[in-house]
């Protein structure tokens, strides 16, 4: 069994084991077993980085076995510089999610932990699949655990949110399935992505395929105007669910653009780039403005996620190396920062059972240690230099200015908006006089919470100060991707 | 002179016929209210039939008997094998339910079930219009009686009445269509029929009229819109064990006669019947899915879901012959249809198995809300039910996804234009479908239990149900073997 298979199946194995044994174990035993599973899952992904040959083009750690003969489907895995970091991020976030749910989840703990572990395996599967149908299977398989996580352990309006999440994403992916089948037939019976990259397609075909892929990925990213499910879902999901959703599940959509839309339909991507850039800028500016007026902390961070993902899609469709690499860096950075932001809200919610900004004020007084972390993550969310949030956004803005000054200007306003809504929230929640007795009675974070936030803080700072390991790994893959885009596939 | 191949061709039917007589007589002498002997003797008979047909299917041979009246081919044998296995699972699920409702006072459940299966066998292996019709009638009459098995139950007898009247109408359609086709071509034999129609000597108007009636009759039997009116009432009214019967094994036989009557007998008219089936498919998908959303009764919801699923199945038949008359896509399309129906039956078994498990004396467990909080009462059976629902919705990694994938692939391979739009329509309707399937999952996982009674069932039921649920997942992860089986079965039919 290869390393990638281990990375996928170890968490799933632990998840299934938890489902099977969970009823005979105490909640505490279940938590430790889940932590063990997520740590082993993280441990098996580390050799992917240490053994990764930096600078080499193409895919590494490739596994390829014929799986379903009738449709020529291969169990075909591989990583390149783009997916490597996303896989590591997934395994890392799963550990965080398990630890962050340690005390807040008390009901049906084994099913909760199992859902996260299985979800983790499925998401790593998405990032390592080289066969389009295998990609789709993992992509869809993530829906079921997330649906259950939101629906069982979510807030008061959780059922509405769970439905919205499932049906929105299913609609997109069903259209994408048709596109996959079309390409399967057009390529003479192959689901191999590499074959599809070479497949000549007419302009009409490319446009339709591009739109079908867009339906799937735009919903998942989410792009304006199909972003409306995200705030609802984030508000209702449990803390760790929000963190995983923002940190990784949104990236599934962005990753899909990189693997499907751009290299398979390069001409349509070029033709429709204006549309994508326009939608991205609307996400960055308009949704940023929407974030400014939110009264609910989770909603605010959810809208800021949409705005930040707007940078990602913007970077994809500028077609220069700087912007593309910046977009991918932004994906990873957003993974750390958004997870941290949601965990901070979770820390407060666990104590006060409220997400309303108005219920807080002066939290810094009873919780000084926590407020320090929160300030760091708020700054990262605003894109302050020296934090992870800065690197990607800066690269994308530079790339945008290279492409067109006005696009760059539009993107740059987001930094102002980002600073505005992030700092405004920080001011209203943490600073000022203690708002009420509930706030006064708050206890500062315990060792477990301290540990989780400290690890995330280190990651955010490291990536902000020294992003070279990230960019070095991904550069060959970015160059190759741009090569695919620049070659017309019109017959 | 009857050659020995003829006897081999009907050996499974003979086995059933002999055994159903033996069981019927033996049962008269039984005093036990549990009817252990009848039960296990029936299971043994079914196992024998499954073994005979399964080994015949594995040999891969095709031969006809009695001068072409019956045929033994891999497709038919596999379907017969699956039908026998389905009946076995069904009887295991049905036994506690039937016992608690006085349906085991006599052995009719078993004898009628075996007669129905015999009817299916005759339909599946019939290669002559009249033989197929005879099998169909045997199946239909046994089914009517099965629905009315709880004769003191008002709803069941009403359902039986409806089923009988509409079923008789459908049989009339079918028979009328057959007689018109006989009038136009002068033959009842399916192989000769294909040749005669191909030669173009048949009266086209009479033939077309016959075809219309034939398709209408088949649509009745399949439960496709606008011939679906009986489905919700019969599903709802029949005792759940019988609902499971109606929703499972006969679908395999119905698939077989669609293959025999349309694909084998009238390939040259494919362009005409495909258009009719396309209309039926679109209407079934639309009405089935939309009406299912509004149901609160689980059995009624599953009835409308069955209608919608039939619509999806018919799409595969639409994809067989291209608009330009090309036959290259036939084996892809029909093997997709076969895979679809086999996996659908497997899923239906699991879903109704859970309903039967949850019902007990005086409690039917047929409202969707009766499943509330099932996950807290029994995670295993909630898991089986959820697997069934996700499979029907076509969500990977469950087997229903591949069923939808194969049909959509066949549809897109048939060409652009109208086929593409049919595919888009089908996936949009699947989204509607996902809504009501998810509702069942929602009720089981998100709601608070309203029932607190312990779930008690015999070991054999629980074991079979667990395996059945697991199969949905295992076949979803490794569908290759079943896909290959269907492809081979159809390929040997089309040569």
Q: Would you give the DSSP letter of residue B162? A: H
Of A71, A148, A175, the CB nearest to B445: A148
Please tell me the distance in Å from A322's CA to the nearest CA on chain B.
Answer: 37
Residue A224: DSSP 8-state: T
What pLDDT sits at residue B451?
76
Structure tokens at A325: 């690499």
Q: Which of A68, A136, A162 sits opposite B480 (nearest CB)?
A: A68
Q: What percent of chain B has pLDDT over 70?
A: 100
Q: What is the DSSP string of B59-104?
A: HT--EEEGGGTEEE-HHHHHHHHHHHHHHHHHHHHHHHHHHHTTTT
Distance CA B204, CA B70 (A): 27
CB B317 within 8 A of CB B330: no
How far is A26 from chain B, CA to nearest CA, in Å? Answer: 16
Q: Following DSSP, what letter does each residue of A426-488 receive, concatenated?
A: HHHHHSSS--SHHHHTPPPP-HHHHHHHHHHHHHHHHHHH--HHHHHHHHHHHHHHHHHHHS-
Which chain B residues touch A143 with a CB distance below 8 Å?
395
User: Chain B residues with CB inside 8 Å of A71's CB?
Assistant: 405, 409, 483
Beta bridge pairs of residue A74:
A66
pLDDT at B82 over 60: yes
**Contact state of A69 with B446 under an 8 Å Cβ cutoff:** no
* CB–CB contacts below 8 A, A to B: 87
Helix (H) or strand (E) holding A306: helix A297-316
Task: Grade residue B47 by pLDDT with cuts at 50, 70 and 90.
Answer: very high
Of A449, A195, A465, which Cα lies nearest the Cα of A347? A449
SS3 A73: strand
Contact across the interface for B397 and A162, Cβ inside 8 Å: no
Give the residue-averaged pLDDT of B246-261: 92
Smallest CA–CA distance, residue A112 to chain B, in Å, is 12
CA distance B380 to A248: 29
Supply the pLDDT for residue B314. Answer: 93
Q: Residue range B458-466: average pLDDT? A: 90
- What span, in angstroms and rounded, lies between the C-alpha atoms of B108 and B241? 13
pLDDT the model gives residue B463: 92
pLDDT at B337 over 90: yes
Is the pLDDT at B53 greater than 90? The verdict is yes
Cα nearest neighbour of A107 on chain B = B376
Min CA distance, B386 vs chain A (Å)? 10
In tens, the pLDDT along B123-167 reads 999 999 999 999 999 999 999 999 998 888 888 999 999 999 999
Q: Which of B412, B417, B430, B478 to mutate to test the interface with A (most CBs of A within 10 A)?
A: B412
CB within 8 Å: B413 and A185? yes
What was the pLDDT predicted at B215? 94
pLDDT band at B365 (very low <50, low <70, confident <90, very high): confident
B438 close contact with A: CB closer than 8 A: yes
- Mean of pLDDT values over A218-237: 86
Mean pLDDT of chain A: 87
Among A119, A181, A191, A216, the strongest candidate for a mutation testing the B interface, having the largest count of B CBs within 10 A, is A181
Answer whether residue B1 shows pLDDT above 60: no
Alpha helices in B126-239 (DSSP H): 129-147, 154-185, 190-199, 204-222, 230-237
CB-CB neighbors (< 8 A) of A202 in chain B? none
CA distance B336 to B406: 5
The predicted model gives A277-291 an average pLDDT of 89
Nearest Cβ partner for A181 among B408, B446, B479? B408
User: Which chain B residues have a beta carbon less than 8 Å from that of A141?
Assistant: 396-397
First to last CA, chain B: 28
Of A137, A167, A178, the CB nearest to B396: A137
> Would you say residue A251 has pLDDT above 80?
yes
DSSP state of B117: H
Token reading at A85 = 């970091």
Res A297: pLDDT: 87
List C-alpha distances in Å: B267 to B76, B167, B320, B323.
18, 27, 10, 13
- At B474, the pLDDT band (50, 70, 90 cuts) reads very high
Pick B446's closest partner by Cβ from A152, A177, A178. Answer: A152
**From B390, B424, B484, residue closest to A70, measured CB to CB:** B484
- DSSP H helical segments within B359-417, as ranges? 374-377, 379-393, 399-413
Residues B182-195: what's their mean pLDDT?
90
Mutate which of B388, B405, B428, B489 to test chain A, going by most A C-beta atoms within 10 A? B405
B278 to chain A, closest Cα gap in Å: 19
Give the residue among B350, B479, B387 at the shortest CA–CA distance from A144: B387
Across B279-291, average pLDDT? 94
* Nearest by Cα to B308 from B476, B427, B157: B427
Give ipTM to 2 decimals: 0.87
Chain A residues whose CB is inside 8 A of the B441 CB are 147
CA-to-CA distance for A346 and A352, rounded, in angstroms? 10
The stretch B294-302 carries a mean pLDDT of: 91
pTM of the model: 0.91
pLDDT at B85: 95
Q: Tell me what pLDDT residue B52 has.
A: 92
A-chain CB neighbours of B442 within 8 Å are 151, 159, 162-163
Note whether B397 contacts A68, CB cutoff 8 Å: no
- List the one residue out of B112, B131, B147 whose CA is nearest residue B20: B112
- The first and second tokens of residue B452, run together, are 């607190």
Chain A residues near residue B334 by CB distance under 8 angstroms: none
Chain B residues within 8 A of A219 when measuring between CB atoms: none
Give the Cα separation of B396 and B390 in Å (integer).
Answer: 8
pLDDT of A455 > 70? The answer is yes
Look at residues B142, B163, B147, B159 and name the one whose alpha carbon lies nearest to residue B24. B142
Q: What is the pLDDT of residues B94-133, one digit of tens each?
A: 998 888 888 888 888 999 999 999 999 999 999 999 999 9
Contacts of A204 in chain B (CB under 8 A): none
Burial A204-236 (b: 16+ CB within 10 A, else e): ebbbbbbbbbbbbbbbbbbbbebbebbbbbbbb
User: Using N-to-C axis directions, what is the helix angle for A447-465 and A81-100, rounded to 10°?
Assistant: 160
Inter-chain touch B409–A181, beta carbons under 8 Å: yes
For A369-425, how does the pLDDT look when each residue is reduced to its tens digit (9 = 90+)? 888 899 999 989 888 888 888 888 888 888 888 888 888 888 888 888 888 888 888
Q: How confident is the model at residue B300 (pLDDT cuts 50, 70, 90)?
A: very high
Residue B42, pLDDT > 80, answer yes
Mutual orientation of helices B459-477 and B399-413 as an angle, nearest 10°?
40
**CA gap A326, B242 in Å, rounded:** 62
């Amino acid at each position: 069994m290869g390393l990638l298979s281990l990375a996928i199946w170890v968490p799933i194995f632990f998840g299934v084991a938890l489902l099977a044994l969970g009823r005979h174990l105490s909640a505490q035993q279940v938590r430790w077993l889940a932590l063990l599973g997520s740590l082993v899952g993280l441990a098996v992904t580390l050799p992917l980085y240490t053994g990764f040959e930096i600078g080499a083009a193409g895919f590494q750690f490739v596994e390829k076995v014929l799986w379903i003969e009738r449709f020529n489907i291969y169990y075909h895995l591989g990583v390149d510089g783009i997916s490597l970091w996303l896989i590591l991020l997934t395994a890392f976030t799963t550990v965080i999610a398990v630890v962050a749910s340690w005390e807040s989840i008390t009901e049906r703990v084994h099913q909760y932990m199992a859902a996260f572990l299985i979800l983790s395996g499925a998401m790593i599967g998405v990032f390592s699949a080289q066969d389009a149908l295998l990609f789709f299977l993992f992509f869809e398989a993530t829906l079921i655990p997330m649906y259950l996580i939101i629906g069982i352990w979510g807030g008061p309006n959780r059922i509405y949110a769970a439905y919205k999440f499932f049906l929105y994403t299913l609609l997109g992916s069903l259209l994408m399935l048709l596109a996959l089948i079309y390409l399967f037939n057009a390529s003479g019976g192959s689901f191999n992505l590499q074959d599809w990259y070479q497949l000549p397609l007419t302009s009409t075909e490319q446009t339709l395929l591009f739109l079908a892929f867009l339906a799937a990925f735009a919903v998942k990213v989410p792009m304006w105007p199909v972003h409306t499910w995200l705030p609802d879902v984030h508000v209702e999901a449990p803390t760790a669910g929000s963190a995983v959703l923002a940190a990784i599940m949104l990236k599934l959509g962005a990753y899909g653009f990189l693997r499907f839309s751009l290299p398979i339909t390069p001409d349509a991507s070029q033709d429709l780039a204006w549309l994508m850039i326009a939608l991205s800028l609307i996400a960055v500016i308009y949704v940023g403005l929407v974030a400014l007026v939110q009264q609910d902390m989770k909603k605010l961070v959810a809208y800021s996620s949409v705005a930040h993902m707007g940078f990602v899609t913007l970077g994809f469709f500028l077609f220069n190396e700087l912007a593309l690499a910046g977009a991918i860096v932004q994906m990873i950075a957003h993974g750390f920062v958004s997870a941290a932001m949601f965990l901070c809200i979770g820390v407060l919610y666990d104590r006060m059972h409220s997400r309303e900004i108005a219920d807080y004020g002066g939290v810094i007084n009873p919780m000084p240690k926590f407020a320090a972390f929160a300030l760091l993550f708020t700054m990262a969310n605003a894109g302050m230099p020296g934090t992870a949030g800065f690197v990607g956004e800066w690269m994308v803005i530079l790339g945008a200015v290279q492409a067109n000054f006005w696009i760059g200007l539009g993107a740059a306003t987001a930094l102002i908006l980002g600073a505005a809504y992030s700092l405004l929230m920080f001011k209203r929640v943490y600073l000022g006089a203690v708002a009420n007795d509930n706030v006064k009675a708050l206890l500062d974070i315990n060792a477990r919470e301290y540990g989780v936030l400290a690890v995330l803080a280190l990651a955010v700072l490291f990536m902000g100060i020294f992003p070279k390991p990230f960019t070095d790994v991904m550069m060959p893959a970015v160059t190759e991707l741009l090569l695919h885009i620049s070659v017309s596939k019109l017959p | 002179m009857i050659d020995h191949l003829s006897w081999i061709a009907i050996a499974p039917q003979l086995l059933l016929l002999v055994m159903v007589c033996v069981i019927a007589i033996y049962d008269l002498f039984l005093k036990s209210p549990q009817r252990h002997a009848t039960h296990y003797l029936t299971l043994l008979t079914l196992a024998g039939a499954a073994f005979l047909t399964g080994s015949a299917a594995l040999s891969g041979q095709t031969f006809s008997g009695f001068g072409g009246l019956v045929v033994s081919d891999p497709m038919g044998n596999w379907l017969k094998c699956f039908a026998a296995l389905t009946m076995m699972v069904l009887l295991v699920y049905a036994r506690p339910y039937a016992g608690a409702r006085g349906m085991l006072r006599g052995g009719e459940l078993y004898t009628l079930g075996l007669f129905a299966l015999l009817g299916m066998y005759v339909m599946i292996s019939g290669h002559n219009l009249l033989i197929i019709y005879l099998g169909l009638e045997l199946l239909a009459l046994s089914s009517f009686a099965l629905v009315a098995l709880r004769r003191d139950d008002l709803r069941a007898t009403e359902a039986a009445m409806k089923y009988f009247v509409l079923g008789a109408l459908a049989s009339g359609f079918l028979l009328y269509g057959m007689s018109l086709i006989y009038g136009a071509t002068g033959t009842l034999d399916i192989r000769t029929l294909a040749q005669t129609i191909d030669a173009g000597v048949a009266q086209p108007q009479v033939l077309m009229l016959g075809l219309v009636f034939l398709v209408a009759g088949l649509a009745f039997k399949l439960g496709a819109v606008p011939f679906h009116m009986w489905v919700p009432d019969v599903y709802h009214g029949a005792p759940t064990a019988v609902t499971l019967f109606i929703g499972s094994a006969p679908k395999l036989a119905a698939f077989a006669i669609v293959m025999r009557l349309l694909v084998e007998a009238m390939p040259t008219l494919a362009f005409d019947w495909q258009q009719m089936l396309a209309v039926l498919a679109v209407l079934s998908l639309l009405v089935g899915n939309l009406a299912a959303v509004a149901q609160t009764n689980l059995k009624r919801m599953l009835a409308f879901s069955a209608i919608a699923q039939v619509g999806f199945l018919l799409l595969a038949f639409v994809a067989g012959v291209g608009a330009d008359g090309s036959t290259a896509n036939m084996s892809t399309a029909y093997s997709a249809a076969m895979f679809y129906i086999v996996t659908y039956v497997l899923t239906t078994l699991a879903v109704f198995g859970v309903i039967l498990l949850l019902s007990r004396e005086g409690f039917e467990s047929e409202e969707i809300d009766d499943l509330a909080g099932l996950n807290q009462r029994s995670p295993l059976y909630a898991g089986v039910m959820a697997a069934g629902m996700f499979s029907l919705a076509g969500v990977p990694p469950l087997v229903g996804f591949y069923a939808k994938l194969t049909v959509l692939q066949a549809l897109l391979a048939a060409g652009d234009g109208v086929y593409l739009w049919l595919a888009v329509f089908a996936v949009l309707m699947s989204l509607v479908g996902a809504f009501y399937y998810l509702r069942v999952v929602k009720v089981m996982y998100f709601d608070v239990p309203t029932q607190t009674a312990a779930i008690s069932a015999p070991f054999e039921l629980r074991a079979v149900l667990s395996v059945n649920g697991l199969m949905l997942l295992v076949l979803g992860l490794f569908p290759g073997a079943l896909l290959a089986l269907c492809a081979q079965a159809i390929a040997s039919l089309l040569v």
